Amino acid sequence: MEMEVEKKYISAEELKKHKKPGDLWISIQGKVYNVSDWAKDHPGGDTILYNLGGQDVTDAFIAYHPGTAWQYLKKFSTGIYLKDFEVSEVSKDYRRMATEFSKAGLFEKKGHGALCSIVIIAIMLNLVVYGVLKSDSVLVHLICGMLLGMLWIEGAYIGHDSGHYQVMSSRFYNNIAQIVAGNCFTGISIAWWKWTHNAHHIACNSLDYDPDLQHIPVFAVSAKFFNSITSIFYGRVLTFDPLARLLVSYQHFTYYPVMMVGRVNLFIQTFLLLFSRRNVPNRGLNIIGILVFWTWFPLLVSCLPNWSERVMFVLAAFAVTSLQHIQFTLNHFSGDTYLGAPNANDWFEKQAAGTIDISCSTWMDWFFGGLQFQLEHHLFPRMPRGQLRKIAPTVKELCKKHNFPYRSLSFWEANMSTIRTLRNAALQARDVSNQVPKNLVWEALNTHG
């Protein structure tokens, strides 16, 4: 009879020492895995592995991976276990809930949402092209611009869904759906979206780890940004200089105008990533998709009869799409924030604290793309949007049981909450006791008495 191999044990404190490139360990259900060499090949990107490195990541692993993923862990096993491994009551409830949802088939019941969205996008694209080419009416051209904005919104939802879970019949077709819906239709790289969005999910509302909150010099949702904190995600200091203070001081007024042209920033971010030195998965395919967009979109705009209508057309599309940009910020800007790396041991708590749901009628679900159930989506990112309304009562009950916030606001209330957050930070930015060297523009605009 073969002798049983004696198990090796380390403490959670010892595990924390292994969280840097070339020495990256994680634990899942108390068993330690070495993912140092594999991090660069991780489908979700290496950023989230480094953010959670040196910790037990069981809850995050369950949230992001199907049951079939467990079999691939064996090749990363170190044979080491955590000797002080414990599971909190919250994690036990979360894992139990995930198991129940899985047994009910909720992760597999995708419905026909993706197919309907693709059909709607195709119809809108044909209407936009037909209206621009065949009509001389300024009103028709304005409506076409607005339809293009709706097309971009629905395209972003398809890209989002296919990025989180497989909406098509195979991984290959799923990747094609991402490139077509994201790069070709909207001009925003799915590679850029995955890079930032996965980091956002893992480090929800961490001021220095979550890229979705790092908008200095234009916006600051917390006065902690006034200390020029370092963005771990971007690897640079978010300098709160005189220009930042000036812009942040009036951010509750500039919020909506900036959202109107926010798409320009997404275009820029796409190009910065695709032509950077970073390791970008499917870089060539992403660049081809972007070139497709920047071929058909300028050609379409050029078909309009004059520059005033071209500007009107583009601004109309941007204005409609700003509704989606606003929605994204409503879900998090007024949520609780924190400084520091995400802690995998309070996965449920951090997601509940940093997210805000938007309450709406069932018939409006198409407009929000499922993201009105933001907490449910953050807890179960692989779950198809059509199932999120079903699980919302269960999630709410679990929040109540553990005394976690469950905030579900109307669209209007969420806007007011976001503006209050921006205004509070703006008033603090104006406080002369926050010492930041001032320039002449600042002095001219803020002279007292």
Query: For the purposes of burial, counting CB atoms within 10 Å of the CB of 309, is it exposed (0-12), middle (13-18) or buried (19 or more)?
Result: middle
The terminus-to-terminus CA distance of the chain in angstroms comes to: 91
Q: What is the pLDDT of residues 68-124, one digit of tens each?
A: 889 889 999 999 998 888 899 999 999 999 999 999 999 988 866 677 888 888 899
Q: Which residues lie below 8 Å from residue 31, measured CB to CB, with a gap of 6+?
A: 73, 77, 80, 81, 82
| Per-residue confidence (pLDDT) for residue 1, from 0 to 100 | 40
Q: Are 44 and 52 in contact (CB under 8 A)?
A: no
What is the fold of 8-86? Flavocytochrome B2; Chain A, domain 1 (3.10.120)
Rounded mean pLDDT of 311-316? 97
Return the domain boundaries, the chain: 8-86, 113-330, 344-409
Rounded mean pLDDT of 148-175? 86
Q: Is the pLDDT of residue 67 over 80?
A: yes
Question: How many beta carbons lie within 10 A of that of residue 72, not counting itself?
Answer: 10
Residue 82 host element (H or E): strand 77-82
Q: Is the pLDDT of residue 441 over 70?
A: no
